[in-house]
Amino acid sequence: MKKILLLTGLLFYFFAAKAQDASKTLSIANGGKVWASLYQQRAAEYKALCFQAYNLAKLRLDAALKHKSKKPLAVITDIDETLLDNSPYDAIRAVNNLEFDLKAWKQWTAKGICDTVPGAPSFFKYAASKGVAVFYITNRDEDERPGTTKNLKLYNLPYADDAHIILKQTVSSKESRRQQVLAKYNVVLLCGDNLPDFDALYDNKPTEESRRITTEKLKKQFGSKYIIIPNPAYGDFENALFKFNYKLTGAQKDSVIRSLIKLDQ
C-alpha cells in the first residue's frame, strides 16, 4: 500500500511539474520579444545601426545649419527606443510570458534608470551646442513626467524641462504636438522608432498595406528629415499585424503570426 501511495505521489508530482513547465512555454510573440531584447542589448549590429542613424542625423543637421532660417532651429525626438532603452522591461515581461501592463510599465519608467540608445545622447548634446532646441515628444503619460525628467537628466541631456518634454495628454497622435513646435521653430529633423513619430499619415490605426503605401510615398524623407532607429521589439508594425486589437491572448497572437509568416514550402 505504501508503495502504491508513493508511486501515486511521484506520478502526481511528475504531471504537475509538466503542467507547470507547459504553462511557462513562451508564446511565439513573446519568444520573439526575448530575441528582440537580446539583439537590442547584445548585438554589435544594433549598435552600429543606431550609430549610423545618428551619424546621418548629424550630417543633416550640419547641412541645415548652413542655411539662414527665419525661425530658430529645432529637432524633435521620440523617447522610448529612440533615446532611452527599455529592453530590460520588455525582456522581463517576455521571458515570463506576460503581455504589456500599464501599471508595470509606469513602475519601470518611474525608476528613471533606462540606459540610452547608442549615439543618441551625443547627437542631441551636439544639436544643443549649435543652438538647436530639442523637443521630446513622447506618448508617456503626464504622471510619468518625474521619472522621465529624472532619466533624461541622469545623462545630462539638453532641454530636459517641462517646456521641452511634451507628453501625451488626450490622444496618441503626435501631430498636434508637432504643430505646436512648428508654430515657433523650423524643425529640421524628426527622430523616432515608430512611423507615427514622423507623420500624421500613419495615425488612425492604418493597415499593413496602407503603412507600406505611405512609406513608399514618403521614401525621400527617410534619411533626409526623418531619422528612424531600429526597434524590433514592439510598435505599430506589431499592432497592425493584430489589427490594433489589444485584447488578443498570446495564443491568438500566435495564430495570427502563423497565418502571416512566410515559410519554406
pLDDT in tens, 132-188: 999 999 999 999 999 999 999 999 999 999 999 999 999 999 999 999 999 999 999
User: How many domains are contained in the chain?
Assistant: 1
**Has residue 253 been placed in a domain?**
yes
Q: Rounded to two decimals, what is the model's pTM?
A: 0.90
Residue-wise pLDDT tens digits, 12-63: 444 333 334 434 699 999 999 999 999 999 999 999 999 999 999 999 999 9
Q: Are 188 and 68 in contact (CB under 8 A)?
A: no
pLDDT digits (tens, 9 = 90+) for 100-111: 999 999 999 999
- C-alpha neighbours within 13 Å on the C-beta side of residue 43: 16
134 three-class SS: strand
pLDDT of residue 265: 83
Q: Which domain holds residue 169?
A: 27-258
142 φ/ψ angles, rounded to the nearest 5 degrees: -60, -35
Residue 91 in domain = yes
**Portion of the chain with pLDDT greater than 70, in percent:** 91
CATH code for the domain of 191? 3.40.50.1000
With respect to residue 212, please indicate whether it lies within any of the assigned structural domains. Answer: yes
How do residues 236-261 score in pLDDT, each as one tens digit? 999 999 999 999 999 999 999 999 99
Q: Does residue 242 belong to any structural domain of this protein?
A: yes
pLDDT band at 3 (very low <50, low <70, confident <90, very high): very low
Answer yes or no: is pLDDT of 129 > 60. Answer: yes
pLDDT, average across residues 219-224 = 98
Average pLDDT score over residue span 216-233: 98
- Residue closest to 141 by CA, chosen among 173, 169, 162, 118: 169
- 262 neighbors 97 (Cβ within 8 angstroms): no
Residue 120 lies in a domain: yes
- Please report the pLDDT score of residue 24 as a whole number: 64
